[in-house]
Structures are given as C-alpha cells and as structure tokens.
Structure 1
Amino acid sequence: MSIKESELILNPDGSIYHLNLKPEHIADTVVFVGDQDRVALVTKHFDSIEFETQKREFKTITGTLKGKRISVISTGIGTDNIDIVLNELDALVNIDFKTRTIKSKLKSLNLIRIGTSGALQPDIPIDSFLISAYGLDISGMLHAYQTQNISNPKMEAAFITHTNWDTNKAKPLIIEGSTALISKFESSNTIKGVTATANGFYGPQGRVLRLKLNDVNLNNKMDNFTFANTKITNLEMETAGIYGLAKLLGHHTISLNAIIANRAHGTFSKNPLQTIENLITYTLDRI
C-alpha cells in the first residue's frame, strides 16, 4: 500500500522533509552528534567530502575516512528530534520514494552517537568515556510505538518500585544497545552503564533554578538503583530514544558519552572541547 503524502513528506526536490536528504546521500554508517557545529569536528578527520546539507538544526556531511563511507548528522537536542531523525533515516533506506512503498529487502544501518553527558555516580571520572549498555527512557516518547518486544520488563519493574515512580509520568522503558557495536567500541578506556534519557535539561534532570521539582529525590534514587550489578551511570536527552527506535526499525546502535560533568560532586570539565575531540578520534579509529 502506498504511503500517503501527508505521512511521508518530501520536499520539491525529492528529499525527505526535515533532513533534506535523498537516499544516495546517506552512508550505511551514520554518526550522530547533537550540536550542528560538532559535525565539522568529526568530518575534519575525513579524507574527502562528497555531500553537505543543512535544514534547521539538522546538518549532514557524508564523506570517506580510510576508504570507509560515513555520514555525520546533527540531531539537535531531545528525543522529539530523535523521533524525526530515526524515522527519516529509516525511510531513506527502506522506503521507495517513487512508489511510496516499503522495500521488500530492508537495510540495517550502524548508528553511532557521540554525545556529552553528566555522570550520576561519584566514581565516574570527569573527561572519561562511557558506553551506554542500556538506555532508560523517562521521556515518554517511545510510548507512541509498540515497544512491548524491545524493553526489559523485570529491570523496569525494579526501577519503578525503587523510585516509587509517579504514575502521572510516562512509564519508564529500558532498551539494550547493540551488543555487536558495544563489543567493537569498548576497551580499557571506556566505562559501561545505564544511561537515563530525560525530556528536558532542567527540572527533568533534577536541576533547580526557580521552579520546584515534582520529586526532589529522584536523582538520588536513580543514583542508588542497582539491577543485576548494573547501575544508572549518567543522564542526558537522546540515548534511549535512539536505542528504542533503532531496535524497532532493525538498526544497530551505540551511544558513546563524553563525561563532562559529575552531578554527584557538582563538578564540570575544565576542558570539555578537548574531551569531545578525544572521544571523536577514539570513535573514528574504531569505525
């Protein structure tokens, strides 16, 4: 059945609506960064550039590094943007734009996030690299989809009980990253843990300026949660959305986090740009 024009929206030049991309513009390996200015920090290492475009906060550059074709896309901030990026990327490789039908043979992309994050555990050093073994979605975005076959009910139930989760909030979901990619990128230089994904930077992550929080102890409860020797290690705004949608759509994904803050100690990196650059070179060396 043909997908309606209101559902699969294309620009007049045939590119997909938000990302402004055509199928030939995307490599099978895609690096996600949040900040559009960070795209150039990654692609400056490329041997050649073949394509570049930007629409709103979504900037894409595709090129080659040591003979490997790679695309780098800025996602902006939050799981709402992740919903756009993942669905449109999947459409680029798995929907025929001419017939508006799903292809009979589906493609799996390798999606690699290079992001920044704040650690929740006091023993996680500033400027370290953290791999998200799991994404804990407390944003609610994934509930728009059928997630019953991709989440971790036992860990979720334990988390809900431990935190006395407010039933007025979306039910937390926990999704595992790609074990194949994790094994490829982990080393003695990385830490693994559960990355919590919030739907905001201030109140949803426990920060207080002038507004009072619904649950002032939530961060502490997350700090103290343990399940099968796994702890919640850090807090940010994209990982669980990427993990959930990628798993639903059949793509492989990993989130690599530059730890530039430690919430337990209230400290921040003295040179966050260098930490990000170090994580970029580490990631590209392993791609």
Structure 2
Amino acid sequence: MSRIGESELILNADGSVYHLKLKPEDLAGNIIVVGDPGRVASVSKHFDRIEVSRQNREIVTHTGYIGEKRLTVLSTGMGTDNIDIVLNELDALVNIDLDKREAKAGHTALNIIRLGTSGALQAGIPVDSVVASTYGIGLDGMLYYYKDLAGVLDREITEEFIRQTSWPAVFPRPYAVACSPDLLNHVGKGFLQGMTATAPGFYGPQGRILRLETTHPDLNQAIGDFNLDGKKVFNFEMETSALYGLSRMLGHNALTVCAIVANRVEKKYSKDYHPVIESLIVNVLEKLVSLPL
C-alpha cells in the first residue's frame, strides 16, 4: 500500500484529522450529522453520558452513549463542499492507519444519518412533515471530481432528469445516487419517502429571488414535474447528494431525513418547526439504538 503524503492527509500536531480535529477513538460507528453547530447539543442532550466534546470552526462533535449504544453527533456546516471534507475525514478515521498513512487492509462501514431541514417541491407535502430521501440528485457537480462516481451513479435517473428538465448546458451536470436501502427500511420507516434535489446554494440555485433575477425561473417547476415511473423529487436542500455519493464510494451507509419547514409550491412556511425537529431527533435516536452495529 502506498503511503499518503502529508500534504494530502493533513493531521494536527496531536494526531487528529485536520478539520474535524478528531482521533479514531473519538468516533462511534453510528453517526448523526446536522448542518447547524447549535443542533448538536439538541441531539446529545438525549445521551445518557457524553465522553467526547470537540469543536473546530463550525464542526462540533459530541460522542456518547444511550444505554450501551455508542453514538456520535457532528455538525457539518452548510453545502456539499463541507460534506466533501467531513466524509473524507470520517472515512480516514476508520479506514486509514493515521500513523503509517496507509489504507487499512480491512474495511469499516459507518452508518451516517443526516438530520436536516428542507423545502417541499410538491403540492400536498405538509409543512412540519418529514421526508426520508430515497435518492440524492446533485445539482452542484462536485462528485464528478471522483473517478469512482461511475460505480455508484444511477444513470437512468440522471439521464432522464436531464432530459425531462431540459437541464441548462451551462449548469453543472446533475447526478443521482441512492441512499442505503437498509437505513431507509429501518430509520426511514414511517416517514414520507421521495427523491431529494441538492442545490449548490440557498437563493438563486433554489429559485429564490430577492434583488437578483435567476437565469431559469421555471427550473423549480421542471424539477417538481420530474417523474420516472412514479419517482418524484419531494424536496430541496444542500447536502444529501454529496453525502450519498461519497458514502457509497467509500463503502458507508447513509440516509437523510429532513423536516419540511417550507412548501415552495404552496408558498407556506412553518410557524414553528422546532417541535418537529425535536420529535425527529427522538425518533431517529430510538431507531439507531436498535441497529446491530
């Protein structure tokens, strides 16, 4: 196995990975990721005890226990670029010998659940409901930097999405990647289930207009109208496609479950989404505790 250079895998003076500032022993096999650093404590308050508490920039990590189940909750910040950092460093913690700077002979698979908020793209999806993402459709182009994308890309959905939406050639080429079916069946049970579009921004890329006009004002409608054998795009957010693609390429299991805080079609916004977030956290923790890993 070839040695990974110091400029490629950057470690801190204490041996922790550069951005997460974590060592292998700090990480559990079941991980909840959230965008907002302030939401980490909203999850870990349900732990029986916390044994690890770290912060570096917007990345806050708590690792602890519920009963005998060890769990990590970690904030990623916003966007697929942050997911690129977090997923690669999480994988390095379990699948690279950091002292030797070599990939380990054996492979460790993590379970990674994203708890987030999103906006619905279909009429009839209630505000304050929850969507489990069956596929992430990336509109950001980031995963095309990775050779292994070809092995995890759903080509049928990708090509049909491009065709049905008349995808603008000047935009990054979309890509579609599936969630972990095991996590969908276990953690996603009881939630609405549909595809999720991952945008590279909150305003223009999701069709929001403040003072700047968008170049393709009908794009949200085209995304919402997409239909492949009953598969539809239920919601918009900013992380899932990268989470799914990187997790599959690296051999991990990933699922996103998002509270619907807005319905973009019906122009509705939640009066108070905090109760649904709290309920979602409790629901997902209960399901994670019963996972075998």
Shift of residue 187, structure 1, vs aligned partner: 3.1
Shift of residue 90, structure 1, vs aligned partner: 0.2
> Partners in 1 of 2:9 and 2:206 — Cα distance?
33
Write the letter of the residue equivalent to 1:223.
G
User: Which residue does the alignment assign to 1:168?
Assistant: 170
Q: Which residue, 131, 150, 156 being the options, matches 1:154?
A: 156
Partner of 1:115: helix, strand, or coil? strand
Shift of residue 176, structure 1, vs aligned partner: 0.4
Q: Spell out the pairing of 1:194-233 with structure 2 (5 A cutoff).
A: 194-233=195-234
User: Which residue does the alignment assign to 1:244?
Assistant: 245
Shift of residue 209, structure 1, vs aligned partner: 0.6
Contact 2:188 / 2:257 at 8 angstroms: preserved in 1? no
Contact 1:129 / 1:258 at 8 angstroms: preserved in 2? yes
User: Which residue does the alignment assign to 2:49?
Assistant: 48
Structure 1's consecutive aligned runs of 4 or more residues displaced over 4 angstroms after TM superposition are: none
Q: Spell out the pairing of 1:262-277 with structure 2 (5 A cutoff).
A: 262-277=263-278
Shift of residue 122, structure 1, vs aligned partner: 0.8
Partner of 1:37: helix, strand, or coil? helix
Partner of 2:150: helix, strand, or coil? coil
Contact 1:194 / 1:232 at 8 angstroms: preserved in 2? yes
User: Which residue does the alignment assign to 2:291?
Assistant: none
Q: Spell out the pairing of 1:8-23 with structure 2 (5 A cutoff).
A: 8-23=9-24
Q: CA RMSD in A?
A: 0.7
TM-score, scaled to structure 1: 0.98
Shift of residue 186, structure 1, vs aligned partner: 3.0
TM-score, scaled to structure 2: 0.96
Deviates more, 1:166-175 or 1:78-87: 166-175
Shift of residue 50, structure 1, vs aligned partner: 0.3
User: Which residue does the alignment assign to 1:26?
Assistant: 27
> Partners in 1 of 2:188 and 2:58 — Cα distance?
30
Q: Which residue, 175, 180, 183 being the options, matches 1:181?
A: 183
User: Which residue does the alignment assign to 1:58?
Assistant: 59
Partner of 1:194: helix, strand, or coil? strand
Do residues 141 (structure 1) and 162 (structure 2) align? no
> Partners in 1 of 2:188 and 2:78 — Cα distance?
25
Do residues 99 (structure 1) and 85 (structure 2) align? no
Aligned length: 286
